[in-house]
Structure 1
Amino acid sequence: MKTLGYAAKHSFSNLAPYEFERDPCAENEVEIVVQFCGVCHSDIHQVKKEWNNTIYPCVPGHEIVGVVRKVGTSVTRHAVGDLVGVGCMIDSCRKCEPCKLKEENYCEGPNGALATYNGPMVPAKQAPGEINTYGRDNTFGGYSETVVVPEDFVLKIPANLRPEVAAPILCAGVTTYSPLKHWGVKAGDRVGVLGCGGLGHMAAKLAKAMGAHVTVFTATDNKLDVASSLGVEIVREDDKEALKLMKSSFDFILSTIPESHDINPFIQLLKRDSVIVVCGALEPMKPVDNQALAFHRKQVAASLIGSIADTQEVLDFCAEHGIGPDIELIPIQDINVAIKKIIDSKVRFRYVIDMATLAREKS
């Protein structure tokens, strides 16, 4: 099936129109016409080969909302016309312990989970061009007309969530919801969020809806005025006096900063037996002062996206609490400008592509 999308062909090239073949629906799959797709910082890391695992051509996009156009013969969960979503994964080995526990994001199969784009999450286990256990060496994401996905990796979008707002919840939402849930954040807890971008502002909204007292730490001056809109406390990361007053006062801290950074100043803010979780960066981090951890039995941990169950749960949670990411809709033709603005921290807070604009490339 011929499909039009936007792809990068090299780490130094812009995204541009690209036509490719989608496999037809298998008996357990659904074909989705993409309506909206969020622009995630991971898209930028992959397009620019900053994680050194990009397979080109690279068609990004793993915050996908669209309408089911076709279903396979054995599909029971979704029907033609349903509004659905696709997040960071489209399959897993289904046999390992994490998969059996419905934690597909931690799949320990030979190739890990199958990412929505850029192929398996651990392609280093195969030679370039080698066909892996999924029968393919690349996948193409939601910056495209259609996607074809196994039915159990497709999410239901609640009726009271605007589809364009739902899109970033499929990555930014679940990536922050999953650690908040796993480490048991509850009403009355004091929660810190490092970073106030696409993930950070979503983490703040989720933690606040859980009843926590939330403080956002940012290094960007133009984010300081968002406190009134988020309804949370906001502090400059480099305000040493403010940090000193917060020493040993936080139950949980979540770092959403999307590149390597120093978490040592924030370890000091944790209570005894509390944890700081990194969910934004996949690069090696700055060294940690273990003495600061050991003397108060503090912990440093990490979290990777979220399971399919977590993703459905956070969609339903956002619908129930009337929350969602702050978005700006853009045409696909503006994607390269949008990427530059994200790199320069000039977006509040999540770009979402109106995929109907892709039709302009055919006119």
Structure 2
Amino acid sequence: MTTVAAYAAPAAKAPLERTTIERRAVREFDVLIDIKFAGICHSDIHQVQEGWGEAIFPMVPGHEIAGIVSEVGPGVTRYKVGDRVGVGCMVDSCRECDNCKAGQEQYCVKGNVQTYNGIGKDGEPTYGGYSQKIVVDENFVVRIPDGLSLDVAAPLLCAGITLYSPLKRWNAGPGKKVAILGMGGLGHMGVKIAHALGAEVTVLSQSLRKKDDGLRLGADHYYATSDPKTFQELQATFDLIVSTVSAPLDFNAYLTLLKAEGVLVNVGAPEEPISLNLFSVIGGGKTLAGSMIGGIPETQEMLDFCAAHGIGSEIELIEASEVNTAYERVQSSDVRYRFVIDTATI
């Protein structure tokens, strides 16, 4: 085992603090990664605060991990020392169910092993990317193309795939009108990816405060959802709406913005339940759907796509000691658009 420095929450809702954790010895099919950068996802905050239910503490958050391979097990064939790699939201799955065999490990019937706040097959808790090193089975590691800097690539391991997967699944592209609901860490990636796919892109945001950014990143249109006229003007406009908002919304209102047989797919994960009038989907044959990250093959596809189109996250690089301030700023929407920890400062 290896002792490494990390930042952890010792208890629910407690500030993160510097500590040390143990990483397992490299097994036959394992890859040891020197973590260079770790993104801060809103999911990290939800879990530290137990917003999604009881959690495991101490907790080392972080599932947007970019680094360099420093050791491989004797059975590893996919990676070698020096490779640029990433780790996202999961580090194992059953590998036997139909979903796993189809490359959709995120929907593992038996439940995948989360990168942090999870229990591995060895019965030990998992610790995430706010640390200096991590050991992961090679099957849950992805390659970061040379065209992507590691710092702006780190958030792609969650934010990037979370938007890429539904945009691809529901055929965002030329001739399609796509709305991205929310202009934050997830939403700004949706704008970039939908634009690169060739769709006509609209941002729906609470205010026009980030309009210049939205247009710069690839949006064709930008509307404030706080203005009632927006819902009148855009009625029956979109083929696809991707909601990145992690707070309850009036989905009945947003469903009116879809064309007949349009899709509103939710990737945000509110802590509270929503209310829905089913006539909002019955009328117009509309679909209210969900999507959760992506499988390992699709995550690699996303990274290759982003490298080919010059897409990285818009980041604010911070030192590890600033993580608690960063959490506060994320909760007040004061980041453009993803905090990334320089793990050399841990």
Query: Quick check: 1:119 aligned with 2:118?
Result: yes
Unpaired stretches in structure 1, ≥5 consecutive residues: 121-131, 359-363
Residue in 2 that maps onto 1:65: 66
Residue in 2 that maps onto 1:223: 210
One-letter amino acid matched to 2:42: H
How far has the Cα of 1:261 moved from its partner?
2.2
One-letter amino acid matched to 1:117: Y
Tell me the distance in 2 between the aligned counterparts of 1:24 and 1:99. 26
> Superposition pairs for residues 1-363 of structure 1, below 5 Å?
1-109=2-110, 112-120=111-119, 134-232=121-219, 233-358=221-346
Aligned partner of residue 222 in structure 1, secondary structure? coil
One-letter amino acid matched to 1:215: T
Aligned partner of residue 340 in structure 1, secondary structure? helix
One-letter amino acid matched to 2:143: K
26-35 or 135-144, larger mean C-alpha shift: 135-144
Encode CA deviations 1:53-76: one digit per residue, 9 max, x unaligned. Answer: 310000001000011111000001
Conserved? CA contact 2:71–2:81, under 8 Å: yes
Please report the TM-score for the alignment, with normalisation by the length of structure 1: 0.92
Encode CA deviations 1:104-130: one digit per residue, 9 max, x unaligned. Answer: 000011xx000100115xxxxxxxxxx
Aligned partner of residue 49 in structure 1, secondary structure? coil
Aligned partner of residue 258 in structure 1, secondary structure? coil
- Seq. identity, %: 46
Unpaired stretches in structure 2, ≥5 consecutive residues: none
Encode CA deviations 1:21-71: one digit per residue, 9 max, x unaligned. Answer: 110111000000000000000000011111113100000010000111110
Tell me the distance in 2 between the aligned counterparts of 1:137 and 1:29. 16
The number of aligned residues is: 344
Tell me the distance in 2 between the aligned counterparts of 1:285 and 1:210. 32
One-letter amino acid matched to 2:55: T
Aligned partner of residue 5 in structure 2, secondary structure? strand
Aligned partner of residue 28 in structure 2, secondary structure? coil
Please report the TM-score for the alignment, with normalisation by the length of structure 2: 0.97
Tell me the distance in 2 between the aligned counterparts of 1:139 and 1:68. 19
How far has the Cα of 1:292 moved from its partner?
2.1
RMSD between aligned residues:
1.2
Tell me the distance in 2 between the aligned counterparts of 1:210 and 1:55. 39
Residue in 2 that maps onto 1:126: none
One-letter amino acid matched to 2:199: A
Conserved? CA contact 2:183–2:214, under 8 Å: no
